[in-house]
Chain A
C-alpha cells in the first residue's frame, strides 16, 4: 500500500494506493491517527489508486473515522474504483461515509461544510 498526503486550503488530502488488507491496514491507521493527532480536522481520502480493500481495511477506516469524529473533525472519500466501491456498498459503509465521485466534488463539499461550520460558530 502507498499512502501520501498534501495540504489543499484547510483540507488534508490523503492518497491511498495499492491494497489495503490485514498487513497494510495498520499502517493506514497509524498514519491517519498521527495526522489527526497533529490537528488535522478536515480529511479528504482519495482512494483513486486503491485496487483492493478487505474487511481489515474497512476496520482501519472505521477506527480512524471514530477518532476524528470524537475530536469534532470530518472526512470524506473520493474516486473509489469499482471493486472498492462494491465492498463499501456491500458492507454498508457507503451509507454512513461521505463518498464523492471525484476530487473536485469532494473538495467543494468540504469547503461548504467548513464555511457552514464557521458560520455556526
Chain B
C-alpha cells in the first residue's frame, strides 16, 4: 500500500466526517462547473435552442456524476480508484461543433460514443507503451495542461474581454480578494481549515463581487426563473454516425487520452510519498473508465467526459484525496441533473472568482508537473525533450497566426499548445532513445584514485537512462565502498571491471576483480573492533554495501571475484 504523504489530511482510503465530505464535494463541483460552458458553446455554434442547451447540460451533469464514481472505484478492471472529478471534455469541442454542423445533436452524440469506444480500446494497450510515457513526458504534459488554461484564467482574473481586452478594476479587486483568502487559509490556516481554503475564497469572492456590483441582476433573475425540479427532455436524444469524422475524432480522443494519462500520474504522485514512476496498469484502468464515461455521456445525450486535472490539483491544495468525496460529488452531480435551479448557482459564479480559483489550482498543477519532470536525473536529452516541447507548445498561444499555413493533415497538432507539446515530447523522447545502450562498463585501477571516476560514470549514465537520483547516489556509495575496501586493504591484485545495466525497474552493477573477496557481514563491527584492528573497516565497508543495495550476490572462480549489486528502481 502506498505511504501517505505528510501533506495529506485524508488520503485516498480514509473517510473524513460527513460534513467535511459534503463541503469538499461542493468545492470540487465549483471547478467541474467550468465545463458547463462547453455544451453551451457547441449548441450555440450549431444554432441549437435554449431548451436543447438546458437538456444537454443536465444530461452531461448526470454523465459526469456517473463517470466520477466509476473513476474512483478501487477494485475491478475499471477505474483508477482516485478522487478526480470527471467533467465535460474541452478537447472534443472542436469535433463536436464539426459533427453538430454536419448532422446536428444525433451526430454529436453518436461520434462521442465512437470517441469513448476508441479510448476504451486504446486503454488496453497502454501498459505496453510505458516507454512512451516516461516521467519527463507525463510531467511536461501536466505542466502544459496548466499553462494551456492560463489565457482563460488570466483574462477571467482581470475581467478582460478576450486577449486584447483592458483590465477591469472591480474584477481585479474581486480576484485578488478571492486568491488572497485561498492562499492565506492554505498557508496560515490552522488544523483542518486548509480543507476549506477554496470554499472560503469563493465565498469571499462572491461577497466582494456582490458589494462591488459584479453579480449581474440578470444572472440573479435567471437563477430565480430556473425551475427547481425538471426531468431532462429525452426527446432530443438520438444517435447517428459518420465515417468522414473518424480521423478528427480519433486525433481528439488521443489528445484527451494523453491529458488524462498526465492527470492520473499526478493523482498517483499526490497519493504516494514514495512515488517512483507512472503505474501503467492503474492508468489503463483509469483510461478505461475515462472512455466508458465518454460512451455514457454520448449514450445519455450529454457530452464526452474527461478527467479534470484541476480537480486533482484541488485535492492536493486541500490535502483531502479520499475517494468517498468522489462518490458524494458524483451523487450530487447526478441529482443536479434533475435540479436545474441548484445547478444554476454554480453557473452564476462571477468570472473573476472563477479566474482566481483556477489560478490557485494551476499553481499546484504546474508544480506537480515540474516535480514529475525533475524526479529523474536531467541530462542533455531530457533538457531538449522538456525545453523544445514546452517552448514550441507555448509559441502556439503566443503566435496563434504563425501555424495557420501548416498542412491541413497536420493542423490538429498545431491547433493547441497542449497538442503540440504532447506530440513533440513523445516524438523527441522516442528519437533521443537512439544511441542509448542500457549497458555500460568502466575499468577502475587500484593504483589511481578512481572514486571521482565512479561518481562521474554513474551520474552520466544515470542521466542518460533517466534513473532516479537517489538510486544513483546509493549505487555510487556502494561501488565507492567496494573500490576503497578492496584497494586500501590490498584485496584486489588487479583492475576492477564494472558492468552497469539498467531498465526502468532495476539498476545492476557487476564488479569483477582478481584477488580476495570482500566480507559483507549482516551486522557492523563494533566501535571497539574498529579501534583495535584496521581490517574491520573493510568489514564495515562490506556491511555498508549490503545495506545500500537491495540485494547482493558474490562468488569466486579461481582468482577472480565477482560481486553483483542490485538496486530496485
Using a CB–CB distance below 8 Å, which chain A residues touch chain B?
19, 21-23, 52, 54-56, 58-59, 62, 66, 83, 87, 90-92, 96
B544 interface neighbour in A59, A87, A96, Cβ under 8 Å: A87
Interface centre among A19, A21, A62, A96 (most CB of B within 10 A): A21
Across the interface, which residues of A come within 8 angstroms of B548, CB to CB? 90
Q: A22-B488, A55-B484 are in contact. Are A90 and B547 (CB under 8 A)?
A: yes
Is B437 on the interface with A (CB-CB < 8 A)? no
List the 8 closest pairs (A to B, CB-CB), nearest first: A22-B484, A55-B541, A55-B540, A23-B449, A90-B547, A21-B451, A59-B537, A92-B524
* Contact present for B480 and A66 (CB under 8 Å): no
* Contact present for B481 and A54 (CB under 8 Å): yes
Using a CB–CB distance below 8 Å, which chain B residues touch chain A?
449, 451-452, 455, 473, 476-477, 480-481, 484-485, 487-488, 524, 526-527, 530-531, 534, 537, 540-541, 543-544, 547-548
Q: A54-B480, A62-B530, A83-B477 are in contact. Are A90 and B544 (CB under 8 A)?
A: yes
- The CA-CA distance from A66 to B541 in the complex, in Å, is 20
- The CA-CA distance from A92 to B530 in the complex, in Å, is 12
Across the interface, which residues of A come within 8 angstroms of B537, CB to CB? 55-56, 58-59
Across the interface, which residues of B come within 8 angstroms of A83, CB to CB? 473, 477
Across the interface, which residues of B come within 8 angstroms of A62, CB to CB? 527, 530-531
- The CA-CA distance from A23 to B530 in the complex, in Å, is 19
Query: What is the chain B residue whose CB lies nearest that of A95?
Result: B527
Across the interface, which residues of A come within 8 angstroms of B485, CB to CB? 55
Across the interface, which residues of A come within 8 angstroms of B547, CB to CB? 90
26 contacts between A and B (CB under 8 A): A21-B451, A21-B484, A22-B451, A22-B487, A52-B455, A52-B480, A54-B477, A54-B481, A54-B484, A55-B540, A55-B541, A55-B544, A58-B537, A58-B540, A59-B537, A62-B530, A62-B531, A66-B531, A83-B473, A87-B477, A90-B524, A90-B544, A91-B540, A92-B526, A92-B527, A96-B527
- The CA-CA distance from A52 to B548 in the complex, in Å, is 13
- The CA-CA distance from A91 to B481 in the complex, in Å, is 13
CB distance from A10 to the nearest CB of B (A): 27
Query: What is the chain A residue whose CB lies nearest that of B527?
Result: A96
- The CA-CA distance from A55 to B537 in the complex, in Å, is 7
Across the interface, which residues of B come within 8 angstroms of A55, CB to CB? 481, 484-485, 537, 540-541, 544
CB distance from B419 to the nearest CB of A (A): 40
Query: What is the chain B residue whose CB lies nearest that of A87?
Result: B544
CB distance from A118 to the nearest CB of B (A): 28
CB distance from A97 to the nearest CB of B (A): 10
* Contact present for A21 and B480 (CB under 8 Å): yes
Query: What is the chain B residue whose CB lies nearest that of A96?
Result: B527
- The CA-CA distance from A21 to B455 in the complex, in Å, is 12
- The CA-CA distance from A23 to B531 in the complex, in Å, is 20
- The CA-CA distance from A83 to B544 in the complex, in Å, is 12
Across the interface, which residues of A come within 8 angstroms of B526, CB to CB? 92
CB distance from B370 to the nearest CB of A (A): 21
Query: What is the chain B residue whose CB lies nearest that of A21?
Result: B451
* Contact present for B531 and A56 (CB under 8 Å): no
Query: What is the chain A residue whose CB lies nearest that of B487?
Result: A22
* Contact present for A91 and B524 (CB under 8 Å): yes
* Contact present for A54 and B541 (CB under 8 Å): yes
- The CA-CA distance from A59 to B488 in the complex, in Å, is 12
* Contact present for B544 and A19 (CB under 8 Å): no
CB distance from B476 to the nearest CB of A (A): 8
Interface centre among A55, A58, A59, A90 (most CB of B within 10 A): A55
CB distance from A75 to the nearest CB of B (A): 15
Interface centre among A19, A54, A83 (most CB of B within 10 A): A54
Across the interface, which residues of B come within 8 angstroms of A66, CB to CB? 531
Across the interface, which residues of B come within 8 angstroms of A58, CB to CB? 537, 540
A23 interface neighbour in B451, B476, B481, Cβ under 8 Å: B451
CB distance from A49 to the nearest CB of B (A): 16
CB distance from B224 to the nearest CB of A (A): 60
* Contact present for A56 and B543 (CB under 8 Å): no
A52 interface neighbour in B477, B488, B534, B541, Cβ under 8 Å: B477
- The CA-CA distance from A93 to B544 in the complex, in Å, is 12
* Contact present for A91 and B484 (CB under 8 Å): no
- The CA-CA distance from A90 to B548 in the complex, in Å, is 9
- The CA-CA distance from A55 to B488 in the complex, in Å, is 11
* Contact present for A56 and B527 (CB under 8 Å): no
Across the interface, which residues of B come within 8 angstroms of A92, CB to CB? 524, 526-527
CB distance from A53 to the nearest CB of B (A): 9
- The CA-CA distance from A66 to B487 in the complex, in Å, is 25
